[in-house]
Amino acid sequence: MSYTITPWSVEGEIDYEKLVKEFGTQLITDELLDRIKKHAKYIHPLLRLKYFFSHRDLDWILKKYEDGEKFYLYTGRGPSGNIHLGHILPWIFTKYLQDAFDVNLLFQVTDDEKFLYNDDKSMDEINKYTYENILDIIAIGFKKEKTKIIVDTKHINHLYPIAIEIAKRITFSTVKATFGFTNSTNIGMIAFPAIQAAPCFLPSKIEGKPTPCLIPAAIDQDPYWRVTRDIANKLGYYKPAQIHSRFVPGLGMHGKMSSSKPETAIFTTDDEEA
């Protein structure tokens, strides 16, 4: 079984058990589900069906919560196209976590990344998708008073002070090995992992003390958090915890549903005939 996974592309038929071993994550156990149920009152179908199946330090996050220390949620969206089912499911699960634990959410919209990564997309096009994607994000029903949407190019003044602290502690050889960057990779993409890592520590920076962070996201984003976790202690903050989802399969092919391959996806903008 052959597959390729990066934060920007997923190809092939995924062997999730093998992937967990490769990434060094842990499967979500029945014991963890019981602990979640204790606080959430019910187990979300996406957990019960093992769509969310893997984690890093979920047990630690629950222990912090049980000891009276609240965590916050952090997830995001790269606005390269319209929203499809593969985006919606993790957001629905994120809302479940926000409601169950009554916690804050930082939702990062990485418009800068999508502009830097896609040579064929203008910033005007990215701005259009950013606006439309945010409407879909709001429609999920996150708690208004507990949710902040961060658009990188609009709110960089909040992100940059912590991003440069992160960037100073990550070498080029590390990001090259982690993300497969080459001599032809633009310097914006090379620096971007520090921007995506910034929300992991932003509340800690603002509050002046380590604040637990839980990231619900697809497992293809895990390389970002591995690098981030490696330097967390150097900043004096907690390592961000993760809960990973599988991929929603693309239509008629192996790999995940993708905005960049519209023929594979079911979009929120599709009409009934589609």
Sequence ranges of the domains in the chain: 3-264
Given a contact cutoff of 8 angstroms between Cβ atoms, the answer to whether 233 and 48 are in contact is no
Q: How confident is the model at residue 273 (pLDDT cuts 50, 70, 90)?
A: low
Given a contact cutoff of 8 angstroms between Cβ atoms, the answer to whether 107 and 146 are in contact is no
The reported pLDDT for the residue numbered 274 is 56
Res 254 pLDDT > 70: no
Q: Rounded to an integer, what distance in angstroms lies between the CA atom of residue 26 and that of residue 58?
A: 9
pTM, full prediction: 0.94
Distances (CA, A) of 147 to 183, 207, 270: 39, 17, 27
Please write the tens of the pLDDT for every residue from 54-111.
999 999 999 999 999 999 999 999 999 999 999 999 999 999 999 999 999 999 999 9
Count other C-beta atoms under 10 Å from residue 255's C-beta.
Answer: 19
Domain 3-264: which topology?
A: Rossmann fold (3.40.50)
The reported pLDDT for the residue numbered 1 is 58
Please write the tens of the pLDDT for every residue from 41-52.
999 999 999 999
Q: Rounded to an integer, what distance in angstroms lies between the CA atom of residue 234 and that of residue 186?
A: 27
Given a contact cutoff of 8 angstroms between Cβ atoms, the answer to whether 93 and 44 are in contact is yes
Taken in order 2, 53, 142, 268, the sign of the CA dihedral is positive
Mean pLDDT score of the chain: 94
